[in-house]
Amino acid sequence: EELTIIRKFEHIEHCLKRNVQAHVSNGFEDVHFVHMSLPEIDKEEIDLSVEFLGRKFDYPIFIAGMTGGTKGSQLAGKINKTLAKAAQELNIPMGVGSQRAMIRKPETWESYYVRDVAPDVFLVGNLGAPQFSETIKERYGIDEALKAVGTIQADALAIHMNPLQESVQPEGDTQYRGVLNALAELKAEFPYPIIAKETGAGVSMEVAIRLEGIGIDAIDVGGLGGTSWSGVEYYRAKDEMGRNLALKFWDWGIKTAISVAEVRYATDLPIIATGGMRDGITMAKALAMGATFAGVALPLLKPAVKGDVEGVIKILRRYIEEIRNAMFLVGARNVEELRRVPLVITGFTREWLEQRVDLGLYLRSR
Ligand code: FNR
């Protein structure tokens, strides 16, 4: 019976059963710590806490939004509640998936609601950028944004930017005209923080500068190298033309490591480094490069679908221990000190960044 519910949930099904990851890396293999033989700290004293949007969190890991909504909302509710229990236990933030379904069908609100199991968690709602464009029918504004946050008692709202996914799906919302203006207007009246998030193709410094300019509070770079939404759409495509387009753009985008460097270089916004973060060493590199959190989605889906809270926590604790170990080996007592340890950047990531930023300045000021 559970399988039929899953089947209705096409993207979750594809994410669980097929390889939907990018065929290229997220770039962190080009980022190297310099091992320190005399760390001059005790591993025990390492503090992994971070501050973000006025709140303090025990660990620098963010559970990225995945689901909620209409068909199979029982499953969506189970996934969100399972993730929320883990987030509550560890005192880390989490997002829900797109609330578009909830705006259209308010009766699905419960599949996004986690306050009953996670009273203290920093919870982030989620709406899509195209829904704010000036060309779309039934354009969203402050009412929908307030509904998204208010209904689930969230602390902030994420606006997901996903032109890649929309462009390779037949029914995609490829209206993006006027989104920046709409977000500027929303930001001016909206009483909650707004996080602009990509979904697997990365945020460039040009976009980050514009987002900072309109007062957006944080950026989740959602870079290339993890879950590929073009990959997911490849499996959903109904014909050869659709499959071809999705396949061609499977690995389109800005790698996560590169996007973190660009956004850190060009803005002062807090950064969430999401996209292919699969171990704590990689996460420690992202933090050293200037991110406040490493964000994770896909690896947590499998235990979450089963309602396995301990399974979710186990994966996160593994990451946490790996981050702590990396910090010990570079002598960083806390995340702030981690940002000041030397980094060596090689290969493709270096070549890219040399053309885009003053690499020396970035490395000194991250
Ligand atoms: C997502 N992601 C996502 N993002 C968003 O803003 N709104 C959404 O509704 C969803 N839905 C969703 C479903 C599933 C099953 C997955 C795996 C992911 C994107 C997610 O937040 C994240 O940015 C990317 O998946 C990259 O992280 P990983 O998967 O490489 O760790």
Distance CA 57, CA 49 (A): 5
The CA-based diameter of the chain, rounded to the nearest angstrom, is 61
Predicted TM-score of the model (pTM): 0.96
Distance CA 320, CA 309 (A): 16
The pLDDT tens digits of the residues spanning 193-241 come to: 999 999 999 999 999 999 999 999 999 999 999 999 999 999 999 999 9
Ligand 1: residues within 6 Å at CB?
11-12, 15, 64-67, 97-98, 126, 158, 160, 197, 199-200, 222, 226-227, 274-277, 296-298, 301
Cα 156 to Cα 78, 115, 187, 310: the distances in Å are 22, 14, 12, 26
Centre of ligand 1 from the C-alpha of residue 296, in Å: 8
CA-nearest residue for atom 26, ligand 1, is 275
Centre of ligand 1 from the C-alpha of residue 65, in Å: 6
Question: Residue 219: beta bridge partners?
Answer: 196, 271
Strands 343-345 and 31-33: antiparallel
The pLDDT tens digits of the residues spanning 121-173 come to: 999 999 999 999 999 989 999 999 999 999 999 999 999 999 999 999 988 89
Centre of ligand 1 from the C-alpha of residue 126, in Å: 11
| Residue 344 burial (C-beta neighbours within 10 Å; 0-12, 13-18, 19+) | exposed
Centre of ligand 1 from the C-alpha of residue 69, in Å: 14
User: Can you list the domains of the chain with their CATH numbers?
Assistant: 1-365 (3.20.20.70)
Residues of the chain with pLDDT under 70: 1-8, 70-73
